[in-house]
Every structure is written in C-alpha cells, then in structure tokens.
A and B are shown apart, each in its own frame.
Chain A
Amino acid sequence: GAVVSQHPSRVICKSGTSVKIECRSLDFQATTMFWYRQFPKQSLMLMATSNEGSKATYEQGVEKDKFLINHASLTLSTLTVTSAHPEDSSFYICSARDWSSSYEQYFGPGTRLTVT
C-alpha cells in the first residue's frame, strides 16, 4: 500500500522558536496533501489543504502566517509552526491523496509537538 512518512515523529521546542514538519509520499505522487491537528481525546481538525505548486487553502480560524505550508513537489509538503507557543502543542498529522486514485487518502504517522 501507499506510504506517507512524517519527520520528525516527536519534537520539543522552546516558546518563540519555529518548527518544521515534513510530510512525504514515498511511493506515489500526491497532488494534494492535507494537514490536520489533533488535541488529546479530540478528533482530527483539518488545518489546511495544499496543492502542489500553489498556495495552501487554510480553514477558518487557522492563521496562515503562523502555520506556513509549502508543497513544492508531488512528494513533499512541509508545515512550519512559527513563533510556537505552548498552546500549539498538539499531534500534527498529514495525509496525501494519490492522484491516480479517486478517493484513497493516506495518513502519515503524525508528529507530536511539545512547546515548553
């Protein structure tokens, strides 16, 4: 099956610093990638949808200047959390859609961010 990787799997950073999370589709091309955030015991909340070569579409309430998304190639999207605060601590999960499939969407293993 299709594989999506995320790096890093865990990161601890200090308040005010920036953190970059990478999402890669390893064996398929992903024209569209999605970034989700999940707080403990809550469901996944879509943050933004990114299409290769174009600007990401952010969900209402998600600050695009704080959560920078770049989808520069068909296999890589990055999420940068800028000027991180403790309330940004969460589980960040990306998913990628296989362009050749009408519906399949594959999830990465997630990145746990802790801001101290």
Chain B
Amino acid sequence: GQNIDQPTEMTATEGAIVQINCTYQTSGFNGLFWYQQHAGEAPTFLSYNVLDGLEEKGRFSSFLSRSKGYSYLLLKELQMKDSASYLCAVRFNNDMRFGAGTRLTVKP
C-alpha cells in the first residue's frame, strides 16, 4: 500500500509555530512534497524533500527522514492567511499520491 497519514485538523495562534506531521509507507519512495491549498483553489507548491534533513524556505521548513517514513512541515510566525489545508504528497516511483490534508486554522 501507499498510505499517507497526516492529522485531519490543527489549530494555532497567530504568531506561533505549528508543526504538521506526515507519515508514509517507504516502499517505492521517490520524493515528498508539501502543498498549501485554500478552499476552492488548486494546491500551491511549498517544499520538496528527497534527502534526509531540513529544508528551510522563509517561514516554512520541511523535514524528512526516509528511514522512518516521516516528514513534517514547520510554519513559523503564523499569519491569519496561513489558514488553509496542507497536503503531504509522496512520489512513489513515478506517481504522486496525496494525503488527506491537514486543515489548519489560525486564530488571533
């Protein structure tokens, strides 16, 4: 199977830090992506990890551990506009599969 698991919902406060975890089955792994999706819109690319470690891009960072089948997306200095769904997607060989998404609500 190619199960990708992430929490369904999270809530955080404006200005805080939030970590969204993603676990996946490791067979056929060929890269992991994080996307942001606002309601009614297409996903937008946030990050890509194929090697172990942390990738930092402004307020967003993404971490990958291939041996553990684990990734997280870290959002710092949360803003209200960060309220959205965050999709973890894994490329298995040539096919990209999506997790169900984590709906993040940022409160004042």
Contacts and interface: CB of A to CB of B under 8 A. Distances in A.
A44 B91 contact: no
B95 A43 contact: no
Contact of A109 (B42, B95, B97): B42
Contacts, number: 44
B48 A93 contact: no
Interface of A: 32, 34, 36, 42-46, 49, 91, 93, 95, 103-110, 112
A34 B89 CA distance: 14
A93 B91 contact: no
Contacts of B97: 46
B100 A42 contact: yes
Interface string B82-108: 000001000100111111110000000
A91 B100 CA distance: 15
B50 to A, nearest CB: 7
A90 B35 CA distance: 20
A44 B43 contact: yes
Contacts of A91: 40
B95 A49 contact: yes
B101 A110 contact: no
Contacts of A93: 42-43
Contacts of A49: 94-95
B96 A110 contact: no
A83 B100 CA distance: 29
16 contacts: A36-B98, A43-B98, A45-B98, A46-B96, A46-B97, A93-B43, A103-B31, A104-B45, A105-B33, A105-B45, A105-B96, A107-B35, A107-B43, A108-B42, A110-B42, A112-B40
